[in-house]
């Protein structure tokens, strides 16, 4: 496991900011970390990075405790908190060259490899002042991954980006998780974007985790290996006598938990009981719907 947060608590002036925060991120994971403003997202990130003291609990990165062995723990971490720090009067290449001197063993080959990864080959010798916001964000990520970290932490990386910039960032992060085998934690307000490429999700509110799951399980409403199916019939009258664990939505629609292999048997039972079947479909949800359900309607501002 690359990142392990276990029972993290943070108290400031007797006020409990974080309460027993626990989650893991492993190689190849893209974890979306979401919650309303003031939920504790940025505080959690600061504890992970050692920027604030931990009241209780532990953070381990690559097996090293951030509190007990900070230098080794943080050695293979790359991060951008909101906007990357860039020298606008220098070229993109000069910015990368400057950062490379802060680490041991970063040669020209690695610099060129990173430039190609973030797709800046054609503009790397231009001054950063001429870059679009999306290009600056990609250059910032290039800086963050120069030293080959296996954990990348991004706080609001899509802020201010246009749709094209967001798309390019999504492609880049997916490639980093796959090609560089990184564990990536992304705190963002952009729920639809996170849904499109993250494989794990953590929802936090009032300093507590409300949901921590694989995003596919969350979208497909999988519980104990069973999916949620919505079925429309001519009438739901006496449907409970035919099927177990039925949740009626209205007079003609109901929801049932089942595996995919159980659906043909359910249909046969309905047909045998002379029900007319108009529709059978998996009852999926969006990340936004799940977020609103878990937070009681709290929107992300």
What is each CA distance from 255 to 81, 265, 270, 287, in whole angstroms? Answer: 43, 15, 14, 20
pLDDT of residue 22: 96
Helix 92-100 and helix 108-117: axis angle, to 10°? 130
Do 263 and 280 contact (CB within 8 A), yes or no? yes
What is the torsional sign of CA 69, 72, 76, 78?
A: positive
> Residue 35: pLDDT band by 50, 70, 90 thresholds?
confident
Beta-bridge partner residues of 58: 6
Residue 14, exposed/middle/buried by CB under 10 A (0-12, 13-18, 19+)?
A: exposed
Read off the DSSP letter of residue 249: -
Could you report the per-residue pLDDT of 152-177, keeping only the tens digit for each? Answer: 999 888 777 788 888 888 888 998 89
Distance CA 208, CA 249 (A): 31
Query: Strand 200-205 vs strand 30-34: parallel, antiparallel, or unpaired?
Result: parallel
Taking residue 88's Cβ as centre, other Cβ atoms within 10 Å add up to 11
Q: Is the pLDDT of residue 301 over 60?
A: no
Could you report the per-residue pLDDT of 239-257, keeping only the tens digit for each? Answer: 988 898 888 889 999 999 8
Read off the DSSP letter of residue 289: H
Mean pLDDT of the chain: 89
Percent of the chain's residues with pLDDT above 90: 57
Query: How does DSSP assign 169-208, residue by residue?
Result: HHHHHHHHHHHS--EEEEE-S-HHHHHHH-SEEEEEETTE
């Amino acid at each position: 496991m690359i990142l392990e947060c276990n029972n993290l608590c943070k108290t400031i002036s007797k006020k409990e900011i974080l309460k027993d925060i626990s989650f893991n991120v492993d190689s190849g994971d893209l974890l979306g970390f979401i919650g309303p403003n003031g939920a504790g997202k940025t505080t959690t990130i600061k504890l992970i990075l050692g920027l604030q003291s931990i009241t209780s609990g532990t953070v381990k990165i690559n097996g090293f405790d951030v509190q007990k062995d900070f230098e080794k723990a943080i050695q293979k971490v790359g991060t951008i908190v909101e906007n990357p720090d860039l020298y606008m009067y220098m070229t993109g290449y000069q910015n990368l060259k400057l950062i490379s001197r802060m680490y041991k063993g970063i040669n020209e080959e690695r610099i060129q490899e990173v430039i190609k990864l973030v797709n800046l080959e054609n503009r790397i010798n231009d001054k950063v002042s001429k870059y679009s916001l999306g290009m600056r964000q990609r250059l910032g990520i290039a800086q963050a991954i120069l030293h080959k970290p296996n954990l990348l932490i991004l706080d609001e990386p899509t802020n201010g980006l246009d749709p094209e910039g967001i798309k390019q960032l999504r492609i880049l992060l997916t490639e980093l998780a796959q090609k560089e085998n990184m564990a990536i934690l992304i705190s963002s307000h952009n729920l639809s974007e996170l849904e499109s490429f993250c494989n794990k999700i953590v929802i936090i509110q009032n300093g507590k985790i409300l949901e921590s799951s694989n995003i596919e399980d969350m979208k497909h409403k999988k519980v104990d290996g069973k999916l949620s199916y919505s079925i429309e019939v001519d009438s739901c009258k006496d449907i409970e006598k035919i099927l177990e664990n039925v949740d009626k939505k209205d007079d003609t629609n109901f929801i049932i938990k089942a595996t995919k292999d159980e659906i043909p048997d359910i249909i046969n039972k309905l047909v045998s009981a002379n029900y007319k079947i108009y529709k059978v479909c998996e009852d999926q949800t969006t990340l936004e719907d799940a977020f609103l359900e878990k937070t009681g309607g709290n929107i992300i501002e």
